[in-house]
Amino acid sequence: MALQFYFFWSSISLTVFYLFYLLLLKRETFFVLNRIYLLSALCLSVVIPFLNLSVLFALPKMELMLSTVSTIGAEKLMFVAKTELDWLLIIYWTGVVISGALLLIKLVGVKRQMALPEKGAAFSFWKTKIVDQELSEVEVIQAHENVHVKQFHTLDILFVELIGIFFWFNPLIYCYRRSLKFIHEYLADEHAANFAESKKQYAMVLFLQSFKTGPALTNTFQSATTLESRIKMLQRKKSKHYRLWKYTLCLPLIVLLTVMCSFRSSNFRTDKHDNNKVDKAASFPGGFELFKEYLIKTTRKVSNQKGSVMVSFVVEKDGEVTNGSMVSGLDEATDKEAIRLVESSPKWEPALQNGKKVRSSYQMRINF
């Protein structure tokens, strides 16, 4: 699967899931369910582009095509230097390295601040709480941080950070992280408010406290960016149980995204049953000899490797060639060139079955 294709559909999934959260779930007080939803959405967005439902559907079976392409004649070929760089990949992996390094720097910063906490600090990381005992309402603050520790909120943040290393270019990752941090605070506030005289009094504690915030990656009691939302959520009435129906809509959403990704990610399988054979196979305009000429004229020399590759592709009802993928190959450069050749070919004459144009799959061996 091409890297660009994978990240395109992962980003689509991240966007759809997050919009669903903003529109339907964000204002609900089912904080545990919202936490599960956001974490599941991240996991599914990473996995869904790999899923393949196309094996459930069959295309008409086609006979194997063989073709030999000789990459000779410098005047006919566009040579690509062996050291040619794919700048898109270089930029991506540079971003991955930088993002990974920044995460390590954040972790080092957390370790140092936990070893030498500042006066007035109140935060937690993993199973460790740092709370200045001289703070007013220290019991309430301790209760707040206990929730972060017991419910493993640090794992959520580290999980998002790890995904962010590979999706550093996608701003939605930071939206997921921000939303999860909000939910962590709502969960902790809900519990800690029981240690105050009332929710109103606890809200005053949040509003009046003035102390050092924790380092990056930690759960901190005080945060100017979340303060207003936390106070509003404290005053919000509990969501009615019947509103749980919203979460059932996640299932058709997951199915829809899986189908969308699957039917664009790979070829449909061929079927061995006779009743799935076509009356007339798809063909290249002018015949196979002209197709061989097209291959010879269009092929670029991208590698010194010699041998054969097997490419599979689908001829659509309109004759367009799609879903090129490797069955067996030589090296990355040659494999990409073979896929480019078949997918950039002129439109074919589609296969016919019972007098109607149908999609059909091919496998073609190209000898370089």
What's the domain count of the chain?
A: 2
Residue 186 lies in a domain: no
Q: Are residues 292 and 310 in the same domain?
A: yes
Q: Are residues 77 and 133 in the same domain?
A: no
| pLDDT at res. 72 | 35
Q: Are residues 298 and 344 in the same domain?
A: yes
Residue 320 lies in a domain: yes
Q: Are residues 80 and 90 in the same domain?
A: no
Residue 228 lies in a domain: yes
Q: Are residues 94 and 225 in the same domain?
A: yes
Tell me if 306 sits within 8 A of 81, measured CB to CB: no
| pLDDT at res. 43 | 95
Give mean pLDDT, residues 289-293: 78
| pLDDT at res. 78 | 37
- Find which of 101-110, 292-301, 340-349 is predicted with most confidence, using mean pLDDT: 101-110
Mean pLDDT for the chain overall: 80
pLDDT digits 0-9 by tens, 204-224 = 877 776 555 666 778 777 676
* The token pair that represents 78 in the structure block: 């566009």
Tell me if 28 sits within 8 A of 183, measured CB to CB: no
Q: Are residues 94 and 226 in the same domain?
A: yes
Q: Note down the domain range covering 341.
A: 54-84+278-367
Q: Are residues 162 and 296 in the same domain?
A: no
Please, which residues bridge with residue 325 across strands? 312
Write 256-263 long-range contacts (CB < 8 A, 24+). 257/12, 257/13, 257/16, 257/17, 257/44, 257/48, 258/48, 258/51, 258/53, 259/53, 260/9, 260/12, 261/9, 261/12, 261/13, 261/48, 261/49, 261/51, 262/51, 262/52, 262/53, 262/54, 263/53, 263/54
C-alpha torsion sign, points 20, 22, 25, 31: positive
Q: Are residues 108 and 58 in the same domain?
A: no
Q: Are residues 216 and 305 in the same domain?
A: no
Residue 18 lies in a domain: no
Please, which residues bridge with residue 311 across strands? 326, 364
C-alpha torsion sign, points 14, 125, 153, 192: negative
Give mean pLDDT, residues 239-262: 88
Q: How far are the Cα atoms of 33, 119, 144, 240, 304 from residue 236, in angstroms, in the given order?
A: 17, 33, 19, 12, 68
Give mean pLDDT, residues 83-111: 85
Split at pLDDT 50, 70, 90, the class of 319 is confident
| pLDDT at res. 36 | 96
Residue 29 lies in a domain: no
Given a cut of 50, is residue 65 above it in pLDDT?
no
Split at pLDDT 50, 70, 90, the class of 49 is confident
Given a cut of 50, is residue 66 above it in pLDDT?
no
Q: Are residues 89 and 219 in the same domain?
A: yes
CB-CB neighbours of 206 under 10 Å: 24
Residue 45 lies in a domain: no
Share of the chain above pLDDT 90, in %: 30
| pLDDT at res. 18 | 96
CB-CB neighbours of 170 under 10 Å: 18
Q: Are residues 220 and 138 in the same domain?
A: yes
Q: Are residues 160 and 79 in the same domain?
A: no
Q: Which residue has the higher pLDDT, 115 or 300?
A: 115
| pLDDT at res. 275 | 46
Residue 156 lies in a domain: yes
Judged on CB neighbours under 10 Å (0-12, 13-18, 19+), 214 is buried
Give mean pLDDT, residues 345-352: 86
pLDDT digits 0-9 by tens, 116-136 = 888 878 888 988 888 888 777
Residue 13 lies in a domain: no
